[in-house]
Amino acid sequence: MTTAPQEIETIALAAATAAPLLAGTPASDRAVWLRAIADELDANTDELVAIADKETHLGVARLTGEVGRTTGQLRLFATAIEEGAYAEAIIDHAAPGATPPRPDLRRMLRPLGPVAVFSASNFPFAFSVAGGDTASALAAGCPVVVKAHGAHEELSHRTAELVASALQAAGAPDGTFGIVFGREAGQRLVQHPAIKAAGFTGSVAGGRALYDLAGARPDPIPFYGELGSINPVVVTRAAAEQRLAELAAGLVGSFTLGVGQYCTKPGLVFVPAASGFDDAVVAALQARADAGNTNAEQMLTPGMAEAFAAGLSGIAAVPGVDVLWGSSAQQNDGDARAAVLLATDVPTALGAEDVLFEECFGPVTLLIRYRDEDELRQALAGVEGSLTGTIHAQPGDDLAQIVALLADRVGRILFGGWPTGVAVTWSQQHGGPWPATTSTHTSVGVTAMRRFQRPIAFQDAPAEVLPAELREDNPLRIPRRVDGVLMVP
């Protein structure tokens, strides 16, 4: 399915026409639109899940839960914009007697304009047509043009029909939402002068290509890409001594979840040498097999299956890397892939960072044995940017240096637990240094709206031209900072 160039032009220009209308629409009305989309998706969950399962093989339970996550985040954004703090309204009254004299200054955030949203393969609802990027852009007041993912085109088409229908019934302007199909359509979209920002979730190679296109435009636009992530995990010696079986079982559940096709999958696990952790993970994998989880599972696309097999073979070919469970040769298994556990030591890992510290998207993890704290810190220093870093420790462990190293490299540090699972909240940070993302913003949670807004200040403006958010009487009753003091109605 491919969208013709002329149709892309029509959709992009419709979004450009809608942009000033959305920018002038009260947040309360946009909240109605978001809830209307959520209600429409909820009402059609069974149909959508059936289509999604046929295309992705992710299972009815997983997909039904993902619809709930998707509609939940739509409603969260609706509530957030009604509250009003997202506008970051600030007023500094004139102070003629100040040195130097200060004018009346009023500042807030306004929508950027039409946003191109690139759907992800591994979350056909939550990071797709009506997912977090779409929800945050619409909440901010930006029209959205989605580039559907080829892994679930039928689902994308049907979801787009429901979104468009809900928006029309709720009174949103024409051009508020559109969708295009095909790789070339995505490239044209990010280069189209009507598009003012883009959100992307996918591979480093694909994201980097689009990022470069966005930056090479005559008018470069922000490109918010969520790309590759290795998600390092640190297990301290005390934690291994006290919770060996528990930690091993947790790791297996995390790195095999969804056939390892989570951007937060733990790909590197730093474990103390001679702690028995290797054997404990093998035992956990054996227990999983004994429970019936012995067969390879189908990955989302043939391309992903091929890339996983190639990446796995490259890792296993590094001298000093041992295969502890599974097979490193999975090229001839169709699109199905099975769990693999690999292990090595720190010197080997640091000698092959370009291979071992790269994401391998699929059901594999690499244990890296460290002999002492110095070796652990040296290894962590070689890890590139990731979405998450996890620490499993015991009371009394000195974690200061580990936390400092991870804080320079990840967007979210977990103390206990496993990174596969991202809560949609005000405080969430789903983003990290390159290559995890192309920016410092989050793509999950309420502050994801900030990607699609820009500040504007009004100096000595007549009252009648000020946006409602900045008027003296605060007609919207929103939180504002006035003369340096946070004011909450």
71's tokens: 């509609």
Closest CA to 116 of 30, 187, 32: 187
DSSP 89: -
Q: Is 297 a catalytic residue?
A: no
- Catalytic entry in 55, 142, 263, 384: 263
Distance CA 254, CA 248 (A): 10
211-247 as b/e, with b when 16 or more CB fall inside 10 Å? bebbeeeeeebbbbbbbbbbbbbbbbbebbeebbeeb
Tell me, rounded to whole angstroms, the distance of Cα 252 from its chain centroid: 23
The three-state secondary structure class of 442 is coil
**Whole-Å CA distances, 134 to 26, 34, 58, 193:** 18, 10, 22, 19
Question: Sign (positive/negative) of CA torsion 135, 197, 180, 28?
Answer: positive
Closest CA to 450 of 60, 88, 99: 88
Phi, psi of 459 (to 5 degrees): -110, 125
Indicate the helix (H) or strand (E) that contains 28.
Answer: helix 27-43
Closest CA to 380 of 414, 400, 352, 409: 409
Q: Are strands 105-111 and 453-459 parallel, antiparallel or unpaired?
A: antiparallel
339's CB contacts (< 8 A; 6+ apart) are 252, 255, 256, 260, 285, 288, 325, 326, 363, 364
* Contact indicator for 81, 109 with CB cutoff of 8 Å: no
Place of tokens 């500040």: 455
Phi, psi of 338 (to 5 degrees): -115, 160
Tell me, rounded to whole angstroms, the distance of Cα 443 from its chain centroid: 5
The three-state secondary structure class of 373 is helix
- Catalytic entry in 40, 55, 66, 226: 226
Closest CA to 70 of 91, 87, 50, 48: 48
135's CB contacts (< 8 A; 6+ apart) are 34, 73, 74, 77
Q: Is 263 a catalytic residue?
A: yes
If one counts every other C-beta atom within 10 angstroms of the C-beta of residue 354, the result is 8
Query: Which residues are tagged catalytic?
Result: 226, 263
